[in-house]
């Protein structure tokens, strides 16, 4: 049975990121009683244990037996950058040698910590303002790989995370089954309430429908970025497959099914999607949707040719856009930037790492 379990880079079965039922299957496979699974599960998820040696309520003999076939972490931290504002950006090595990013975000005005998780290695959507798009798509992450990003961050930082955002590398709703499984593990094993979990999508209609059917009390965030098809097609190419009208219909159905307020994400690109007319159009489009609007100042990235594709609107333009969009009656916020000094945009650190190691 162990042949089907994920192994880390050391070739040992990795337990971090598994749920209690999966850890129970593991201990039963060793001929151990089921209560041992609860002990191990508690050490991993409540105490952030990084090795069996830390599990002091297990006998030395049992710890040695476990170490012969298994380990705790699945992922390895390849690189860590720490911002002056406390943001920590991690580059993780996966068992097959691929790399993926996660971010721990701290805010000065609140005690809670948030983690931005990746759901894929690279991304197939190819949004033109996103560094991850320039990595290309490699593969989906397993549910265990998604969960162990969270646990690796808690082990390294020593702090409990309160909020989860699926907004790192990849499109979560092109990996919906594993994302839903990871949400359930994070909720039940890591103890983070579903209402503190947000899943962001560029508008994958079947995935939105599947998430609605799962009826989890999470927050759906739609990366809209333009209120008209022409502009959105230019910067979010997946619009050619899922029209803006089909996406908005799916999001409305999601709200009607779950009764959960949606977040509209909008990256502001100077001279592209930040005009007064576009702000008014956005307000009109969203007037019947129960949502908040989150404006995101563009974090400059370079394309494969090293060219910065877009500019960032100045604060006056951002505030004007927010004021006009707010005429929809929605709450409009301009996102507070974090980690701008450490390759903060999704994919920036991975791109830099890969380029450095290809020379």
- Catalogue the active-site residues: 101, 346
Type and span of the H or E element at 63:
helix 60-69
Query: How wide is the angle at C-alpha 214 spanned by C-alphas 211 and 220, nearest 5°?
Result: 35
How far is it, in rounded angstroms, from Cα 14 to Cα 3? 12
For the chain, count helices (H), then strands (E): 11, 14
Query: How wide is the angle at C-alpha 338 spanned by C-alphas 208 and 174, nearest 5°?
Result: 20
The β-bridge relationship of strands 163-166 and 113-117 is: parallel
- Biggest CA pair distance of the chain: 70
CA torsion sign for 262, 267, 268, 271 is: negative
Cβ–Cβ contacts within 10 Å for residue 338, how many? Answer: 21
The β-bridge relationship of strands 88-93 and 99-106 is: antiparallel
How far is it, in rounded angstroms, from Cα 217 to Cα 148? 22
């Amino acid at each position: 049975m162990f042949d089907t379990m994920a192994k880390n880079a050391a070739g040992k079965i990795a337990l971090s990121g598994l749920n209690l039922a999966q850890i129970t299957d593991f201990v039963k496979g060793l001929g151990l009683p089921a209560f041992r699974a609860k002990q191990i599960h508690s050490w991993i998820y409540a105490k952030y244990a990084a090795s069996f040696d830390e599990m002091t309520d297990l006998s030395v003999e049992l710890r040695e037996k476990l170490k012969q076939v298994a380990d705790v972490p699945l992922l390895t931290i390849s690189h860590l950058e720490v911002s002056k504002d406390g943001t920590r950006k991690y580059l993780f090595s996966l068992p097959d040698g691929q790399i993926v990013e996660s971010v721990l975000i701290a805010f000065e005005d609140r005690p809670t910590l948030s983690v931005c998780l990746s759901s894929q290695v690279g991304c197939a959507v190819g949004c033109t303002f996103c560094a991850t798009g320039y990595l290309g798509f490699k593969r989906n992450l397993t549910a265990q790989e998604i969960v162990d990003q969270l646990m690796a961050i808690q082990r390294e930082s020593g702090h409990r995370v309160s909020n989860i955002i699926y907004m790192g590398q990849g499109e979560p709703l092109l990996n919906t089954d594993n994302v839903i499984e990871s949400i359930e593990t994070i909720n039940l094993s890591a103890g983070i309430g579903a209402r503190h979990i947000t899943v962001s999508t560029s508008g994958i209609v079947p995935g939105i429908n599947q998430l609605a059917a799962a009826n989890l009390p999470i927050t759906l965030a739609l990366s809209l970025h333009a209120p008209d098809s022409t502009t959105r097609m230019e910067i979010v190419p997946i619009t050619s497959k899922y029209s803006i009208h089909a996406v908005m219909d799916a999001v409305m159905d999601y709200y009607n099914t779950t009764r959960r307020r949606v977040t509209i994400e909008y990256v502001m690109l100077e001279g592209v999607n930040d005009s007064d007319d576009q702000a008014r159009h956005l307000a009109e489009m969203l007037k019947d949707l129960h949502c908040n609007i989150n404006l995101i100042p563009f974090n400059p990235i370079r394309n494969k040719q090293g060219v910065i594709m877009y500019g960032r609107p100045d604060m006056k333009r951002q505030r004007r856009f927010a004021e006009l969009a707010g005429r929809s009656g929605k709450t409009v916020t301009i996102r507070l930037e974090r980690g701008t000094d450490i390759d903060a945009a999704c994919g920036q650190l991975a791109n830099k790492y890969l380029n450095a190691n290809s020379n």
